[in-house]
Chain A
Amino acid sequence: MGKILVIAEHRNGKLSEGTLELCKVAKEIASATGNTPAAAVFAKDDSIAKELAQYIPEVLSAVDAKFEYYTADAYSQAIRAVVEGNDVKGVVIAHSYDGVDFAGKTAMAIGAGIVSGVNKFEAKDGKVIFTRNIFNGKLQEQRSAKTDKFVVTVEKGAWDKEPSGSAGAVNSVAVSVGEVRTKVKEVIETTKGAVDISQAKVIIAGGRGTKDADKYKATVIALAQKLNGEYGASRAVVDAGWTDHARQIGQSGKTVSPDLYIGVGISGAIQHVAGMKSAKCIVAVNKDPEAPIFNIATYGIVGDLFEVVPAMLEELNK
């Protein structure tokens, strides 16, 4: 039996929640393919490995001062060493900023095919076939590795977190890490001291469809003020400078779970949805009836936001 190997993700001595989702994925793939689930932890001590052992039967722990900060060079070398020393059939990595940074390099290091951003799998004729979003979620594809091993990055939230169970084994593995070419100087907070919209009960978020800064203000901000809520934005709006980064909702911004979220001119890219899908009531206003946001919304209006939002404001003024 081979191993389906999770690569643990951690920062500042804290295991990421996504890693627990990866444990679930590895367990399901292992069970469907007759392999065993395991995880590898690369850290400066073995405390994370011990914590992770509650969620998976075997943890391979490699301890080295070079793992104090994540680097693609150290991770890909370490994974290669673990894969060479163990019968690893598949490597399971988070589709996160760090995960995506080292997954491609890892696939190259072990000569494996890689499928990124997967949200489902099926085992068929000895192959693992993965499903992933393409074309901004409007299409999906099923793809599998042609190599004897596979590497996947897993979309956040596509699987539940594995619950903790009886403690698994922690086995230390020796990996020698050679040259690390990138050097981490520091980690900084970019939105320190700025507005915090994460606790708001009502959030109106605007996307690219709001067209420009003035129109964003006249629609999204006006509606937020009318409803005594906060206004937020998708990445495109922040990139264009129509509002501050502190108001960005999604993977690289805030995670919010208001009672009411109204998305205006937002298509619902997975990176944005990651930050708002737990809102209690989701309303989407978009002119594209196939926009992915309608797949998670409670209510939708298919139409021109520059007609719908003023009509809502008028209705609220009655």
Chain B
Amino acid sequence: MKIAVCVKQVPDMESKFTVVDNSRVDESQIAFKMNDFDEFAVEAALQIKEKLGGEVIIVSVGPERIVKDIRQAFAMGADWGIQVQDPQVDEGDSFVVASAINKAIEKIGGADLILTGVMSNDNQSALTGIMVADMMKLPHCTNVVKLEIGGDQKSLTINRELEGGLNEVVEMPLPAVLSIQSGINQPRYPTLPGIMKAKKKRLDVVKAGDIGLSEVGKAASKTELVKMFIPVSEHKAEIIQGDPKQAAAALVNKLKNEVKVI
């Protein structure tokens, strides 16, 4: 089975963020990593490959720095990848990124199954994968927490997570696009031989023009950013000062004697 996994690189969310020009994050102080949800998608793809054979191809959109995390997916066991490295694409919104992924998957000759994470930690839209499915005219399912491929390899049975501890069991045909929820598996750590092999694996780096994507950037976007900013909360917690012992004692005292909840 030919499986494409969409992988995005995101900042470590514990970073201190500074906004530049009301429109972007100052990247100089930030460490980047693979989007959490995408690690589960890569692992899900590798488990299917181990069971049924085939190949796992990483599809990624973004600047040069992303190569580190594509190689991490290679080290986990993915076979090869394609990266759309084009600043014009990066300026676009979810629709433009979805268009680039659609064309990149077309470039690799399509896939039997396309996996994404549920959402990215930075943009939090949870839209891109669904748009890719629509562009490819494929069915999709989001928030997948269990996944079984039918014996004929032409269908899927899926548990889709719902609110309040419910799961919906869904059947659908292949090819399909699935967004993988965290917790579906335990993503493996790359092994040392895996890391060595990853360095030599094939990564096709393409620009929008190479994959037949003519309209990119802000012009092709369907939404526009007005501004990005650090929110000012109307409420702030009363921060209890002091070293851990003092703070803990003061907190326990408040909870016992002021709020009277313990």
Residues of A within 8 A of B (CB): 69, 72-73, 96-98, 100-101, 103-105, 107-109, 112-117, 129, 132-147, 181-191, 201-202, 227, 235-236, 238-241, 245-246, 248, 251-255, 259-260, 267, 280-284, 288-290, 294-304, 307-309, 311-312, 314-316
Chain A min CB distance to B23 (Å)? 9
Q: Among B95, B226, B261, which residue has its beta carbon within 8 angstroms of that of A280?
A: B261
Known A182-B170, A189-B165, A301-B240: A142·B13 in contact at CB below 8 Å: no
How many pairs, one residue from A and one from B, have CB atoms within 8 Å of each other in the complex?
Answer: 250
Q: Please name all residues of chain B whose beta carbon is closer than 8 Å to the beta carbon of A227 when the two chains form the complex.
A: 262
Mark the stretch among B51-59, B191-199, B201-209, B251-259 that contacts chain A: B251-259
Q: Among A140, A299, A304, which residue has its beta carbon within 8 angstroms of that of B240?
A: A299
Chain A min CB distance to B248 (Å)? 3
Decide if B244 touches A260 in the complex (CB within 8 Å).
no
Decide if B163 touches A145 in the complex (CB within 8 Å).
no
User: Nearest 8 pairs between A and B by C-beta?
Assistant: A311-B248, A239-B183, A113-B222, A104-B130, A300-B237, A297-B237, A307-B244, A142-B226
Decide if A246 touches B163 in the complex (CB within 8 Å).
no
Q: Please name all residues of chain A whose beta carbon is closer than 8 Å to the beta carbon of B171 when the two chains form the complex.
A: 182-183, 185
Q: Please name all residues of chain B whose beta carbon is closer than 8 Å to the beta carbon of A187 when the two chains form the complex.
A: 162, 166-169
Q: Please name all residues of chain B whose beta carbon is closer than 8 Å to the beta carbon of A260 when the two chains form the complex.
A: 255, 259, 261-262
Question: Closest residue to B119 on the A side, CB-wise?
Answer: A100
Question: Closest residue to B161 on the A side, CB-wise?
Answer: A252
Q: Please name all residues of chain B whose beta carbon is closer than 8 Å to the beta carbon of A182 when the two chains form the complex.
A: 139, 141, 170-172
Q: List 10 A-B contacts (CB under 8 A).
A: A135-B17, A139-B231, A182-B141, A187-B169, A189-B165, A202-B261, A252-B162, A295-B236, A303-B244, A314-B248
Question: Closest residue to B121 on the A side, CB-wise?
Answer: A136
B64 contacts chain A at the CB level, 8 A cutoff: no
**Cβ < 8 Å to A, chain B residues 85-111:** 93-95
Chain B min CB distance to A189 (Å)? 6
Chain B min CB distance to A75 (Å)? 12
Decide if B165 touches A246 in the complex (CB within 8 Å).
yes
Q: Please name all residues of chain A whose beta carbon is closer than 8 Å to the beta carbon of B25 when the two chains form the complex.
A: 135, 139
Decide if B169 touches A184 in the complex (CB within 8 Å).
yes
Question: Closest residue to B218 on the A side, CB-wise?
Answer: A146
Q: Please name all residues of chain B whose beta carbon is closer than 8 Å to the beta carbon of A299 when the two chains form the complex.
A: 237-240, 251, 254
- Cα distance A260–B260 when bound, in Å? 10
Chain B min CB distance to A281 (Å)? 5
Q: Among B123, B166, B233, B235, which residue has its beta carbon within 8 angstroms of that of A189?
A: B166
B245 contacts chain A at the CB level, 8 A cutoff: yes
Chain A min CB distance to B61 (Å)? 17
- Cα distance A143–B161 when bound, in Å? 28
Q: What sequence of 0s and 1s flags, for each residue 213-247 of chain B, a beta carbon within 8 Å of any chain A beta carbon? A: 00000000111111111110101111110001101
Q: Among B16, B122, B163, which residue has its beta carbon within 8 angstroms of that of A252?
A: B163
Q: Please name all residues of chain A whose beta carbon is closer than 8 Å to the beta carbon of B166 when the two chains form the complex.
A: 187-190
Decide if A188 touches B222 in the complex (CB within 8 Å).
no
B34 contacts chain A at the CB level, 8 A cutoff: no
Decide if A283 touches B135 in the complex (CB within 8 Å).
no
- Cα distance A255–B61 when bound, in Å? 37
- Cα distance A101–B25 when bound, in Å? 29
